[in-house]
């Protein structure tokens, strides 16, 4: 294990930034989100939950896909992916265990056949440095999904305490990154990390949502869950906004649209939300016309549809962002407790 003193972290960031891009939680206008590092930026590794998850790095909220340049009767197609060939490799720094697991969920969607090359380009250019949690809070429930918040993987795993950032190499990519910053790192830290993990684990065990029971959420219960009368009551206060989907690290839906530009047409995609009234609108209209149906879709997808297609892997990682951010305090935990059977009472 390696380590670096906390007050030298800026040197570490600067060193990485010499040859790679660096995305890290940065405080801007009062809120912490992943952003490009630069001198003078206020890094906040201590922030437990960034508002937006790091999925933005591989799957930006809005992304240009191609351009159609028109001149007279000629149409020139500009493949924007060409630019990515020059993409500078970058480091995603400070990813928590839940968010790291979420990347696995996204990979199963975007890297499955047919591969989403826009996502793949960014994903392959990235080295991921994870950061273990040391002070989880009441809205956290990653343990329910088998995630160990004290030992995330990634290319490099780090732990932070009052004095040092501890550094453990996991992969070849991680080794290459470590070689780049080796002058700043010294040996040691096993004992400190083990003791932090032990303390954190006692907190994790006591979290209010630590014992949620997911056993009812399986494919064979699909119809029964779908027909549950409780959806009406659960969705009644839903505003139909996209907060839960946009702060969610695993939500992956997008819309593709064309916009007229001075040169022709630009095709872009942007995050979409199943909570929105125009979601998956087709020529014949929309197959979900009420907020109840939209609300049910989101949670059925997380807890039943996705796992039934991905060997039981849930597409919720228990990050708790929706628990904190839903304007009207509706969230997936309330759904699990309502429909998940008596073990959740």
Partner 1 sequence: MKDVEMKMLERAKALLESGEVARVIGWKKGDFCFDPAPASFETVEELDNFVYDYFCGANLSKYLIQMSKKEGKTAVFLKPCDTYSFNQLVKEHRIKRENVYVIAVECMAKLDIEKIKAKGISMVESVEVVGKEVKVTSAYGVETLYKPDVVLTKCATCTKTHQVKDEEIILHERPARDVDRFEEVAKLEAMTADERFAFWREQLSKCIRCNACRNVCPACSCVKCVFDNPASGIAAKANDDKFEEQLFHVIRAFHVAGRCTDCGECSRVCPQNIPLHLLNRKFIKDIDNLYGEYQAGETDEGKTPLTSYTEGDAEPNDVMNGEAK
CB nearer to partner 1: give 52 or 173: 52
The rounded Cα 297 to chain-centroid distance in angstroms is 20
Helix, strand or coil for residue 328? coil
CB nearer to partner 1: give 27 or 218: 27
Q: Name which position in 281, 287, 289, 343 contacts partner 1 (CB under 8 A).
A: 281
104 touches 142 (CB < 8 A): no
Part of the chain binding partner 1 (CB under 8 A), chosen from 91-99, 179-187, 269-277, 302-310: 269-277
Q: Name which position in 30, 72, 162, 284 contacts partner 1 (CB under 8 A).
A: 30
Rounded CA-CA distance 194/192 in Å is: 6
313 touches 108 (CB < 8 A): yes
**Are β-strands 126-131 and 156-160 bridged in parallel, bridged antiparallel, or unpaired?**
parallel
Nearest Cα neighbor of 148 from 187, 107, 200 is 200
Q: How many CA atoms lie within 13 A of 28 on its CB side?
A: 13
Should residue 314 be labelled a site residue for partner 1 when binding is judged by CB under 8 A? no
**Burial class of residue 243 in the structure, from the number of CB atoms within 10 Å of its CB (0-12 exposed, 13-18 middle, 19+ buried):** middle
CB nearer to partner 1: give 166 or 271: 271
Q: Name which position in 226, 287, 329, 343 contacts partner 1 (CB under 8 A).
A: 329
Should residue 333 be labelled a site residue for partner 1 when binding is judged by CB under 8 A? yes
Should residue 37 be labelled a site residue for partner 1 when binding is judged by CB under 8 A? no
CB nearer to partner 1: give 178 or 245: 245
Helix (H) or strand (E) holding 79: strand 74-79
**Are β-strands 126-131 and 21-28 bridged in parallel, bridged antiparallel, or unpaired?**
unpaired
To the nearest whole angstrom, how small is the minimum distance from the Cβ of residue 275 to partner 1?
Answer: 9
- Site for partner 1, residues 39 to 68, rule: CB under 8 A: 48, 51-52, 61-62
To the nearest whole angstrom, how small is the minimum distance from the Cβ of residue 278 to partner 1?
Answer: 5
Residues with Cβ within 8 Å of residue 125, at least 6 apart in sequence: 87, 88, 89, 90
Q: How many CA atoms lie within 13 A of 181 on its CB side?
A: 29
Should residue 198 be labelled a site residue for partner 1 when binding is judged by CB under 8 A? no
To the nearest whole angstrom, how small is the minimum distance from the Cβ of residue 334 to partner 1?
Answer: 7
Should residue 236 be labelled a site residue for partner 1 when binding is judged by CB under 8 A? yes
Should residue 278 be labelled a site residue for partner 1 when binding is judged by CB under 8 A? yes
Burial 49-87 (b: 16+ CB within 10 A, else e): bbbbbbbbbbbbeebeeebeeeeeeeeeeeeeeeeeeee
Should residue 172 be labelled a site residue for partner 1 when binding is judged by CB under 8 A? no
- Site for partner 1, residues 108 to 137, rule: CB under 8 A: 135, 137
Count residues binding partner 1 (CB under 8 A): 51
Backbone region of residue 271 per phi and psi (left: phi > 0; alpha: psi in -120 to 50; beta: other values): beta
Q: Name which position in 89, 324, 338, 341 contacts partner 1 (CB under 8 A).
A: 324
Should residue 81 be labelled a site residue for partner 1 when binding is judged by CB under 8 A? no
CB nearer to partner 1: give 286 or 308: 286
Should residue 328 be labelled a site residue for partner 1 when binding is judged by CB under 8 A? yes
Should residue 241 be labelled a site residue for partner 1 when binding is judged by CB under 8 A? yes
Rounded CA-CA distance 24/36 in Å is: 7
DSSP assignments along 121-188, one per residue: HHHHTEEEEEE--SS--TT--GGGGT--TT---SSEEEEE-SSEEEEEE-SHHHHHHHHHTGGG-EE-
Should residue 327 be labelled a site residue for partner 1 when binding is judged by CB under 8 A? yes
To the nearest whole angstrom, how small is the minimum distance from the Cβ of residue 45 to partner 1?
Answer: 15
Which residues are at the interface with partner 1 (CB under 8 A)?
28-31, 33, 48, 51-52, 61-62, 135, 137-138, 203, 206, 208-209, 233, 236-237, 239-243, 245-247, 255, 257, 259-260, 268, 270-273, 276-278, 281, 323-325, 327-330, 333-334, 337
């Amino acid at each position: 294990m390696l380590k670096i003193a906390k007050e030298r972290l800026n040197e570490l960031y600067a060193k990485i930034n010499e040859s790679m891009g660096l995305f890290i939680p940065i405080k801007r206008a009062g809120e912490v989100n992943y952003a490009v590092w630069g001198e003078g930026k206020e890094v906040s590794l201590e922030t437990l939950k960034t508002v937006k998850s790091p999925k933005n790095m591989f799957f930006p909220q809005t992304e240009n896909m191609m351009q159609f340049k028109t001149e007279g009767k000629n149409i020139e197609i500009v493949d924007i992916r060409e630019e990515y060939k020059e993409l500078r490799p970058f480091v995603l720094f400070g990813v928590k265990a839940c968010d790291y697991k979420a990347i696995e969920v996204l990979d199963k969607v975007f890297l499955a056949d047919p591969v989403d090359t826009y996502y793949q380009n960014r994903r392959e250019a990235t080295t991921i440095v994870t950061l273990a949690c040391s002070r989880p809070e009441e809205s956290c429930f990653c343990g329910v999904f088998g995630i160990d918040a004290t030992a995330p993987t990634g290319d490099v795993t780090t732990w932070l305490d009052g004095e040092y950032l501890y550094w453990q190499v996991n992969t070849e990519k991680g080794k290459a990154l470590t070689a780049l910053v080796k002058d700043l790192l010294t040996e040691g830290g096993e004992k400190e990390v083990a003791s932090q993990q032990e303390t954190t684990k006692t907190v994790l065990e006591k979290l209010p949502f630590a014992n949620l029971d997911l056993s009812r959420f399986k494919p064979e219960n699909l119809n029964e869950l779908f027909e549950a009368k409780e959806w009406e009551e659960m969705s009644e206060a839903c505003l139909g906004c996209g907060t839960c989907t946009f702060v969610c690290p695993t939500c992956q839906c997008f819309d593709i649209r064309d916009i007229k530009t001075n040169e022709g047409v630009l095709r872009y995609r942007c995050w979409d939300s199943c909570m929105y009234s125009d979601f998956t609108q087709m020529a014949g209209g929309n197959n979900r016309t009420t907020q109840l149906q939209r609300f049910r879709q989101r949670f059925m997808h997380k807890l039943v549809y996705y796992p039934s297609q991905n060997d039981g892997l849930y597409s919720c990682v228990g990050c708790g962002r929706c628990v904190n951010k839903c304007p009207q305090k509706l969230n997936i935990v309330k759904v699990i407790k309502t429909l998940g059977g008596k073990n959740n009472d």
